[in-house]
Chains A and B, each alone.
Chain A
Amino acid sequence: MKESNAMPDKKITRKDLISVFWRCNFLQASFNYERFQNIGWAYTMIPILKKIYTTKESMASALKSYLEFFNTHPVLITPIAGIIAAMEERGEDPESIRGVKVALMGPLGGIGDAIVWLTFLPIFAGIGVSLSMQGNIAGPIIFLILFNIVNFGLKYWGIFFGYNSGLSLLKSLSGSVQSISKAASTIGILVIGSLIPSYVRLSIPYTITAGQAKVNLQTDFLDKIMPGILPLGVTLLILYLMRKKNFNTTTAIIFIIVIGILGSYTGLLG
């Protein structure tokens, strides 16, 4: 950041952030297996993008990068949305924004699973169940009230927390655009490397029988040398096809559907 940006224009208002809060509820409306919550993420951030990208061309290129792969926890989405909004307001470059987005989506997904799905949900449901079992109509009602204090409370708090901490962090890092981009890409790539084996599902549950010996290719062989080798391999194969063989996402998907159907009929893949 140079001197001219030391006091950036306040383009984003409280109203925009609240609009993002409402929209984040529709993060998963068009959930798809190719890019998960990508359309919902663009949908969530449109109020911000409208403020920042005022020409058709700049809006087009912003939308394209917001439509890339995205997946996080549907409740803890707002801290990410807030930080990214702060970055957009300060005019950070698209590469840094992408890096920060990818670096945050995995960890917040994990934290959200642990806090919301595995802690609050079972505790509140447990309270509701104990009342319902006695035929008490308060069971479901108390469950809904308790859960939604957490659900909407976290979403609402997160958007302002993300935006404000994003702004102050960016101010303290100002003067090092290069480092932000590099740091974000480092963490982002690391996170992608760890997400591939859990997001991509592919196995070869095929059993080779040789006399008495039965060898299951997946559990007895692949899992012993390198678990997750198939998800990694298929991801790198598609990356290769895209970079070197001019595959676009549509051809890649057709390729995958053919593999899936062949794998199913031959019984090789699972």
Chain B
Amino acid sequence: MFQALMLALISGLAGLDILVVHIHWHRPLVTGLLVGLVLGDVKAGLIAGATLELAWMGLVPLAGAQPPDPIVGGILGTAFAIITKQPPQTAVAFAIPFAIAAQSIKTLLYTAFSYFAHLADKYAEDGNYKMIERINIGALVFHFLLYAIIVFLPIYFGMDVAKNIVSLIPEKLMNGLAIAGGIMPAVGLATLLKIMLKSEFVPFLILGFICSVYLQLPVLAVALIGVAIAIWEFYIDRNRTQNAGVGGGENDEGI
């Protein structure tokens, strides 16, 4: 029980590090050592953590897309390796279902967190920045609990029981909410467009889209194209105002 609680605490706190501060002690390389300390086998923990680190290397959050969870994978994988005395490569196979479950629950959590954005809007109406600060920090509690629980269950109840608990969640509904979570950024982007997209800017929206899907350009390249267009526009505008300002007389000199 004590060990399960300790591992849950480590997982919960590591769950915060993946979102905020980013010291990166949530990587399997480091959590392996911590799990080893809790379970009384530092060397096995180090080696298992290092093996799992290699497995998760490169699986990093890019552009908002979420890879299988390295925290749950790292902590459970190392714990199983030490408890069952299996090689870490085998142990990670046990951890993977939980790492995936953690990932899909996180998708739901981030979808549900849209509520906080609306709550913050409400306080913004009154200029109440103190509440916005509280909302931002308060949301971390849910993240902590998610990570603590998903590691506690399999360690305390055993893997089979925990797997049954995870499978109780209706898959189609979860999947549906995950699809909705995938579409959700369209709301935020549409809101920005509602404010920014005047009809004269529509060509740039199309151009940016083409650069991305057909030309597969990275966003930095797209922004540089934007810089080029902006400079070009700047000189065109300046020449136009200069010509208008100077008046007709000088324009006629060539004739």
- On A, residues with C-beta under 8 Å from B are 25-36, 38-40, 42-43, 46, 49-50, 53, 56-60, 63-64, 67-69, 71, 74-75, 98-99, 102-104, 106-107, 109-111, 113, 117-118, 121-122, 125-126, 128-129, 132-133, 135-137, 139-140, 143-144, 147-148, 151, 176, 178-179, 182-202, 226-228, 231-232, 234-236, 238-239, 242-243, 249-250, 252-253, 256-257, 259-265, 269-270
Contact = CB atoms under 8 A, between A and B. Distances in A.
B162 interface: no
A263 B219 CA distance: 30
A139 B180 contact: no
Contacts of A99: 196
Contact of B219 (A50, A132, A186, A194): A194
Nearest to B114: A34
Nearest to B138: A30
26 contacts: A29-B136, A30-B113, A32-B113, A35-B117, A40-B136, A63-B127, A63-B129, A69-B191, A107-B223, A110-B218, A118-B60, A122-B58, A132-B47, A133-B50, A135-B46, A140-B32, A184-B230, A193-B207, A194-B222, A196-B212, A234-B183, A242-B194, A260-B182, A264-B173, A264-B175, A270-B179
Interface of B: 19-25, 27, 29-30, 32-33, 42-43, 46-47, 49-51, 53-54, 57-58, 60-65, 107, 110-118, 120-121, 123-127, 129, 132-133, 135-140, 172-173, 175-198, 201, 204-214, 217-220, 222-223, 225-227, 229-231, 233-234, 237
Given A26-B136, A191-B219, A239 B180 contact: no
A201 B116 contact: no
B19 A199 contact: no
Contacts of A190: 204-205, 207-208, 211, 222-223, 225-226, 229
A64 B64 contact: no
A162 to B, nearest CB: 16
Given A113-B63, A148-B24, A193-B206, A29 B19 contact: yes
B116 A30 contact: yes
A98 B29 CA distance: 40
A189 to B, nearest CB: 4
A99 B195 CA distance: 10
B186 to A, nearest CB: 4
A156 B207 CA distance: 35
Contacts of A27: 20
Contacts of A270: 179
Given A194-B222, A256-B186, 9 more contacts: A39-B117, A60-B124, A109-B63, A113-B63, A139-B46, A187-B226, A199-B189, A252-B187, A260-B176
Contacts of B57: 122, 125-126
B220 A197 contact: no
Contacts of A107: 219-220, 222-223
- Chain A CB within 10 Å, residue with most, of B188, B212, B227: B188
Nearest to A265: B172
A231 B212 CA distance: 12
A200 B180 contact: no
A249 B187 CA distance: 7
A253 B184 contact: yes
A98 B187 contact: no
Given A137-B33, A192-B208, A257-B177, A128 B21 contact: no
| In the complex, the 4 A-B pairs of residues with the closest C-beta atoms, listed nearest first | A193-B208, A260-B180, A264-B176, A187-B226
